[in-house]
Structure 1
Amino acid sequence: MLVHARPKARYPVQMPMTSLIDIVFMLLIYFLLTTNFMVDEGIKIKLPQARAAAPQTEETITIFVDSRGRAFLGEEAISLDRLFDRIKEKIGDKEDELVVVRADRAVILNKAVKVMDIAKAAGAGRLCLATEKEL
């Protein structure tokens, strides 16, 4: 009697998914860490450009001046008469508080200077006019 060997069932070739998943997660982490998550405030202004612009990292009081010359503290429109009191209130007893004026590039220079003058009179130790880096 002849006995024939039965052919063994072959397993299909499988690609190792573990290393592929590792690479996908590494790419995801890389893109999450390198993406810029800066969120701009609500007032739409176009800042003047400067070649020597440096990023602002310090906590500050920010005053916006739009293209029509209106002043905003946060997202609240405020008259120049009330601006002094509000800045004085925000500064409190801090001597070296930084106030950043973000004025639209189309605004008349006199309006931005008035806002800076009011901030200085309210007790701002340092003033800064915000710009964006020229490409």
Structure 2
Amino acid sequence: MLVRARRKARYQVQMPMTSLIDIVFMLLIYFLLTTNFMVEEGIKIKLPQARAAAPQTEETITVIVDAQGRAFIGEEEVPLPRLFDRLKQKIGSREDELVVVRADRAVILNKAVKVMDIAKAAGAGRLCLATEKDF
């Protein structure tokens, strides 16, 4: 009778999957939590609510009208008599430029319409009134 030595099974190198899965889930939770804290800085206004609001993805010129009726371009307050010149300068020769008016919901409608009228006179091809989605 021949006796043969049994071959020992080779150990296979295995990656610790539990540690990798834990790290991936921790990164996922980190990114989910930090994206909720990213807020747009600027003038404090409460936008009107609308059920059919859609996110704006296009590069635009934004004019903010606060509750007191003051107009802002970016962080800079612009008096209404000078708003035409500033918008004309920003729009330039672009005919189809979109101007978004972000008016506070407490602002008198006449102020928001006046800002929209100034933007249209300055050469804005399209106007948009910003709203926030009503849940």
Q: Which bracket does the TM-score occupy, shorter chain normalised?
A: 0.7 to 0.9
Aligned residue identity for 1:118: I
Q: Paired residue for 2:22?
A: 24
Alignment of 1:47-126 (within 5 A): 47-126=47-126
Instruction: List runs of 5+ in structure 1 lacking aligned partners.
Output: 1-15
Instruction: List runs of 5+ in structure 2 lacking aligned partners.
Output: 1-13
Q: Percent identity?
A: 73
- 1:43-92 CA-to-partner distances (Å, cap 9, x unmatched) read 00000000000000000000000000000010001100110000000011
Q: Paired residue for 2:7?
A: none
TM-score where L is the length of structure 2: 0.81
- 1:23-62 CA-to-partner distances (Å, cap 9, x unmatched) read 1222134342683575313100000000000000000000
User: What CA distance in whole angstroms lies between the structure 2 residues aligned with 1:65 and 1:52?
Assistant: 22
User: What CA distance in whole angstroms lies between the structure 1 residues aligned with 2:39 and 2:58?
Assistant: 15
User: What CA distance in whole angstroms lies between the structure 2 residues aligned with 1:89 and 1:18?
Assistant: 60
RMSD, aligned CA: 2.1
User: What CA distance in whole angstroms lies between the structure 2 residues aligned with 1:97 and 1:41?
Assistant: 23
- 1:91-123 CA-to-partner distances (Å, cap 9, x unmatched) read 111110000000000000000000000000000
User: What CA distance in whole angstroms lies between the structure 1 residues aligned with 2:87 and 2:70?
Assistant: 16
Q: Paired residue for 2:127?
A: 127
Query: SS at the partner of 1:100?
Result: strand
Query: SS at the partner of 2:77?
Result: strand
Aligned residue identity for 1:56: Q
TM-score where L is the length of structure 1: 0.81
